[in-house]
Amino acid sequence: MFLSDKAKRLTPYVAGIQPQEEGWVKLNTNENPYPPSPKVTEALHTADITNLRLYPDGESSSLKAAIASVFAVGEENVFCANSSDEVLALAFQAFFSGKSRIITPDISYGFYPVWGEMYDVGMIFAPLRDDFSINISDYNPSNGVVIANPNAPTSLALGLADIEKIAMQNSSSVVLVDEAYIDFAQVESAVSLIGKCKNVLVVRTFSKSHSLAGLRVGYAIGSPKLIEGLRRMRDAFNSYPLDMLAQIGATAAISDTDYLKETTTRIIATRGKTTAALEAMGYKVLPSHANFIFFHAANAGALYQFLLDNKILARYWSKPRISEFIRVSIGTDEDMEVFVKCVRQFSSGEQKNP
Ligand SMILES: *Cc1c(COP(=O)(O)O)cnc(C)c1O
C-alpha cells in the first residue's frame, strides 16, 4: 500500500548471485579474476582520508582529464558517474524518456528493458538473426538506438563501419554504444566516431577490464551537447555521483595502460583455451569478443545446475531463444580448468544416460 503505481508495476533487473561465503568458482557476473592495477592500491593507500569530510568534486575533474588524455579527446567530451549502469540510466532519461521507437536487440543486456519501463520509453526489440548477429538495417528509422558492443550475453561484436552506418542512419537521434567489454574485443571502439557523429555516445565501465567492479565507476564519451544532457540529468538526481576514493582509484587505473594490456591479453588467452576445450567436447561456442563465452548445450539448464552443485557459478536464462545456452565468465587458467573438468564430467554422464 505504500508503493507508487510505478514501483508496483516495475520489473526490476535480476543480477547474478554474489555469494558472501568462500569456496565458489565465481564465473557468473563477468568480473575480472585479476586484482586491480598496483597503482590503484598505491593511490588508495596514500589518499588523504581527512579530505573525506568534504564533498567530492562533482565533475570528477582529475579522472575526466585522465580519461580525456588516454582517449585523446577533450575534457568536454567526457562524463563520469557511479557505474556505467548509472551513466546508462541518466542517458535513457536525458535522451529517450517519453519517446517511442528506441531500438535495441531482442537479446542484450537485461537492464535496457528495465530502464525503458522506468523512464516511459517506447522500446522496440529488434530480433537478432538466428546466429545472434545484429542486422543493422533493423535500426532505422528510430528516435534512438541502444547497442551493447560487444553484445551481452552473446559475446558477438559489430565492426566500426557497421556502428558508423547505424549512426548515419539515425543522425538526428542518439545512438548509445555500451562498450563494457570492448577491451577484450577484436573490433575497434566507437570513440573514434564522436567527432564525426555528434549523436554517438560511448558508455564504458571500470568494472570489467579494469578489475574495479567493487569501486563502481563508469563514464561516457561523446560530443559536448550529449555530455551536457547527461550533466543536466545528473544535477537533477545526484550532483556528486562519484565518491572521492572512487575518483582516486579510477584515475590511477585508467592511467596504467600497460597493466590493462597485460591482464586483458591474459584473459583473451584463457578464453581461447577454454573455447578450444569446449569445442573438443562437441559444444558450439560463439566467437567471443568479451571476457565471457556463450555456448550451446542442449541440456543447458541441467548443466547449469550440475555446475552449481559443484560450486561453480555460471549464468543461465530459461528465456526464449537462449534457453539452450550457458554464459561463463573467463577466470584464471585454474578456474577454467575446474570448469572444463566439470563440464567434461557432465557430458560423459549425459552420454551414459541420454
Ligand atoms: C557489466 C555491464 C554493465 C554495468 O557495468 P557497471 O559499470 O558495473 O554498472 C553495463 N553494460 C553491460 C553490457 C554490462 O555487461
Whether the full predicted model's pTM is greater than 0.75, yes or no, is yes
Taking CA atoms only, the protein residue closest to ligand 1 atom 2 is 180
Question: How far, in Å, from the CA of 219 to the mean position of ligand 1?
Answer: 11
Q: Are strands 200-205 and 218-221 parallel, antiparallel or unpaired?
A: antiparallel
Question: How far, in Å, from the CA of 95 to the mean position of ligand 1?
Answer: 19
Question: How far, in Å, from the CA of 9 to the mean position of ligand 1?
Answer: 24
DSSP three-state, residue 78: strand
pLDDT of residue 162: 98
Q: What single DSSP character describes residue 61?
A: H
Q: Which of 203, 208, 292 to mutate to test the pocket of ligand 1 (most atoms within 8 A of CB)?
A: 208
Question: How far, in Å, from the CA of 162 to the mean position of ligand 1?
Answer: 22
Q: Which residues pair with 145 in a beta bridge?
A: 103, 175
pLDDT of residue 261: 98
Pocket of ligand 1 (CB under 6 A): 30, 83-85, 109, 148, 152, 178, 180, 205, 207, 213, 218
CA distance 247 to 212: 12
69 Cβ neighbours under 8 A, 6+ residues apart: none
pLDDT of residue 7: 92
pLDDT of residue 48: 97
> Which of 109, 94, 337, 42 has its CA nearest to residue 220?
94
**Which atom of ligand 1 sits closest to the CA of residue 213?**
8
* Consecutive 10-residue averages of pLDDT for the chain (354 residues): 92 88 95 98 98 97 98 98 98 98 97 96 98 96 96 98 98 98 98 98 98 98 98 96 98 98 98 98 98 97 97 96 98 98 92 52
Question: How far, in Å, from the CA of 241 to the mean position of ligand 1?
Answer: 17
Q: Which of 18, 30, 79, 84 to mutate to test the pocket of ligand 1 (most atoms within 8 A of CB)?
A: 84
Helix (H) or strand (E) holding 177: strand 174-178
Burial 1-31 (b: 16+ CB within 10 A, else e): eeeeeeeeeeeeeeebeeeeeeeebbbbbbb
Confirm if 67 and 251 have CB atoms less than 8 A apart. Answer: no
Question: How far, in Å, from the CA of 180 to the mean position of ligand 1?
Answer: 6
pLDDT of residue 352: 55
Taking CA atoms only, the protein residue closest to ligand 1 atom 11 is 180
DSSP three-state, residue 293: strand
pLDDT of residue 201: 98
pLDDT of residue 212: 98
CA distance 105 to 112: 10
Question: How far, in Å, from the CA of 152 to the mean position of ligand 1?
Answer: 9
